[in-house]
Amino acid sequence: MSEDSAIIEVSRHDRVRQRIDTQMITLDGQGMHLQPVAIRYSWPTKLELMAHRTGPRLAERYAGWDRRPFTSASDSRVSVYQRA
């Protein structure tokens, strides 16, 4: 929110379809502007299965973009694949 505009964000999460639909609503002196956003995500295990089935092999895995080691306690991961 600023002095001359406000942004409202409304989202719906469909866990079964692994989808998040969001509507960004901007209200300003020129009216109302809508910006829809649709995101489809995949869990890491599904991405690994897709890679396994299509050929790339896992080369490296990190806990973040700074290349911290990935452990069972890591809350994020960066996986690097290369052609088999």
Residue count of the chain: 84
pLDDT for residue 31: 95
Q: What is the CATH number of the domain that holds 16?
A: 2.20.25.570
- Per-residue pLDDT of the chain in tens (84 residues, 90 and over written 9): 788 999 999 999 999 999 999 999 999 999 999 999 999 998 888 888 988 899 898 999 999 999 999 999 999 999 999 987
* Domain extent at residue 22: 1-41
Residue with tokens 């109302």: 32
Rounded to 10 degrees, what is the CA torsion of 64, 70, 72, 77?
Answer: 40
pTM for this prediction: 0.58
pLDDT for position 3: 85
Nearest Cα residue to 24 out of 12, 4, 14, 10: 10
pLDDT the model gives residue 34:
97
Contacts of 58 (CB under 8 A, 6+ apart): 48, 51, 79, 80, 81
Domain shared by 8 and 22, yes or no: yes
Give the model's pLDDT for residue 59.
93
